[in-house]
Amino acid sequence: MFRFAFRLLSLLTLVVAVGAATMDSIESVASSEVVLTSLAAAWTEMSPSSLMLAQQAAEEHLPPAVWQALREWLLPQPAFAAFLALSLLLWMIGYKREHPAGRFAV
């Protein structure tokens, strides 16, 4: 059950990553220069209140260095790359290894 949930979340984050990459590519073609939307800008554009809630929750429940690292390193990254990395991580968690003896082994 958990494996299915992680694979489904991986699919959803992959769809978001492709959507973010598509929006960046459209803006890049329209402006004739490379445009990469940061995760912070995309998050603020979609739901600024949830970014503030995430910041408050991180400050309450995590050491200050963790939120500082996330704010300084993760949030400036391109949104499509962050979602691709998250999709890969979720897929790896939900991955089902094939039996070493083969599919029809007892």
Q: pLDDT for 36-65, tens place per residue?
A: 999 999 999 999 999 899 989 988 999 988
Give the global pTM. Answer: 0.82
Domain positions in the chain: 1-35+79-95, 38-77
Give start and end residues of each alpha helix (H) in 1-106: 2-31, 39-46, 48-61, 64-69, 79-94
Measured distance CA(68)–CA(1) in Å, rounded? 34
